[in-house]
Structure 1
Amino acid sequence: MLKNLFKKKDTNADLVSPLTGKVVPLEEVPDQVFSQKMMGEGIAVDPTSNLVVSPVDGEVVDVFKTKHAISLRADNGAEILVHMGLETVELNGEGFEIKVNNGDKVKKGDNLADFDVESVKAKGYKTITPIILMNGEDYNLTNISFAEEVKAGSEILFHIEAK
């Protein structure tokens, strides 16, 4: 029982895809903030379904007021941003149904949001969703996925290792 008190925190984690869809290298995202990695390293998924799930075991840090993005802190301390679509902040929440609150504990595959992909596309917005490691000064991404298609909550997009 005491050995669990002194158990070293695991500093590595696998990040699963938060969406079902086509994997897109971050450099190919049609938004310079993401493609030039101004916010950090990561990958993107062009969704083919509306379900958005937690990519990590951890905690919801921030559900953006405009509902287009959710940040999470993985149990290993890595901070992840799931940014649903591009320029979708302008929709002011329309097309997004959030299922979690700030401070909620989540496991990989838990439902975070429903993202009405068709509605957002119909309004002229791109639905490609960057998944960004926000604290890259403390973590490295390895084993980045080159899969063409991924399923939400099951396929690993990348591995996160503490520096």
Structure 2
Amino acid sequence: MFDFLKKKKDEYVFAPVDGNYIPLIDVNDPVFSQKMMGEGFGIQPTSSEIYAPIKGTITTIFQTKHAIGLTGASGEEVLLHIGIDTVELAGDPFEVFVKIGQTVDENTLLVRVNLKKIREAGKSDIVLTLFTNGTKSYDALDRRQVKHGESLN
């Protein structure tokens, strides 16, 4: 009964890393906080393992390994961006475990990151999940501890 009200399982958004949820409007970078890259959210990580925030396919892996693009089954385009200004680190703190074209879900390890190296370089290590073609805001979600794989819908 009321099955039409249920969201399809493949459209769920998951926390990609363990840590503290941060509304995008509170991220300390105007490009992200003013949503120039799209709606989304941040997580201040307490773990170095970053997982897929949606079920979908890997479409882009930046050469500097700080960002990964995914496309979901419903066409949603997601950019997973690890840290702020971490492009300047030339990939050093990142180890990528996926390849373009690979199908992933919330249990797929995408990247292991050396958070200490990011911090020592004076960069923020916040993990951003950005919906580059989406309109749903995640700003109203409560600030709280999240675990990777936890649904944020």
CA contact (8 A) 2:52 2:106 kept: yes
CA contact (8 A) 1:52 1:113 kept: yes
1:119 aligned to 102, 112, 117, which one?
117
Give aligned pairs, total: 146
Mapped partners of 1:62, 1:19: distance in 2? 19
For the pair shown, the structure with the greater C-alpha radius of gyration is 1
Structure 1 residues 63 and 87, CA, compared in 2 at 3 Å: closer, same or farther? same
Structure 1 residues 52 and 122, CA, compared in 2 at 3 Å: closer, same or farther? same
- Structure 1, unmatched stretches of 5+, are 1-9
Q: Normalization by structure 2: what TM-score?
A: 0.89
Q: Deviations over 1:97-120 (max 9, x none)?
A: 000011111122210010111121
**Which letter does structure 2 place at the counterpart of 1:53?**
Y
Q: Normalization by structure 1: what TM-score?
A: 0.83
CA RMSD of aligned residues (A): 1.8
Ranges of 4+ aligned residues in structure 1 off by more than 2 Å: 139-145
Using the aligned pairs only, state the percent identity: 36
**Which letter does structure 2 place at the counterpart of 1:104?**
Q
**Which letter does structure 2 place at the counterpart of 1:65?**
Q
Structure 1 residues 100 and 146, CA, compared in 2 at 3 Å: closer, same or farther? same
**Which letter does structure 1 place at the counterpart of 2:56?**
G
Aligned residue for 2:125, secondary structure, equals: coil
- Structure 2, unmatched stretches of 5+, are 1-7
Q: Deviations over 1:59-113 (max 9, x none)?
A: 0010101100001011111111110000000001010000001111112221001
Mapped partners of 1:143, 1:41: distance in 2? 9
CA contact (8 A) 1:23 1:46 kept: yes
Aligned residue for 2:83, secondary structure, equals: coil
2:151 aligned to 138, 147, 156, which one?
156
Mapped partners of 1:102, 1:77: distance in 2? 16
Q: Any residues of structure 2 matched to 1:123-142 within 5 Å, and which?
A: 123-136=121-134, 140-141=136-137
